[in-house]
């Protein structure tokens, strides 16, 4: 299954002002890397967020769950269903949390 092109359009628009952001095909979807660190992504029709320690709090949102595409949840990551990323407030919450977390990481050499 290909990734959702509408979600790509939305994420591109929301992240257009993020300095140091690069988009890269990954795992059958798209990854958005901030200074070389994975920040957000698209997998099928789901928004993926690298939110670090905020994951347990953000999973209280009904459309947000563990990032699990292999049968093993990834710590510090969440996925957001279409109902969630189509909701501006939920989408912004995840994108803002991802940006904040990844900004704490050291930049990778390019």
The CA distances from residue 101 to 22, 28, 86, in Å, are: 17, 24, 22
Question: Which residue blocks in the chain are alpha helix, DSSP H?
Answer: 5-15, 55-58, 82-85, 88-103
Q: Model confidence at 1, in pLDDT bands (50, 70, 90)?
A: low
Nearest to 91, CA basis, from 42, 44, 52:
42
> CA-CA distance, 56 to 15, in Å (whole number)?
24
HSE of 73 in the Cβ direction (CA atoms, 13 Å)?
11
pTM over 0.85: yes
Long-range residue pairs from 66-71, CB within 8 A, at least 24 positions apart, any chain = 69/27, 69/43
What crossing angle do the helices spanning 5-15 and 88-103 adopt, rounded to 10°?
60
* pLDDT tens figures, 16-58: 999 999 999 998 899 999 999 999 999 999 999 999 999 999 9
**CA 5 to chain centroid:** 15
pLDDT band at 69 (very low <50, low <70, confident <90, very high): confident
């Amino acid at each position: 299954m290909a990734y959702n092109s509408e979600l790509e359009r939305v994420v591109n628009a929301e992240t257009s002002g993020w300095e140091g952001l690069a988009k890269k095909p990954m795992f059958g979807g798209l990854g958005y890397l901030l200074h070389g660190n994975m920040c957000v992504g698209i997998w099928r029709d789901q928004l993926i967020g690298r939110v670090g320690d905020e994951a347990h709090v953000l999973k209280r949102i009904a459309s947000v769950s563990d990032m699990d595409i292999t049968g093993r949840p990834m710590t510090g990551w969440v996925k957001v269903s279409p109902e969630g990323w189509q909701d501006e407030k939920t989408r912004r919450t995840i994108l803002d949390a991802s940006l904040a977390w990844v900004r704490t990481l050291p930049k990778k050499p390019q």
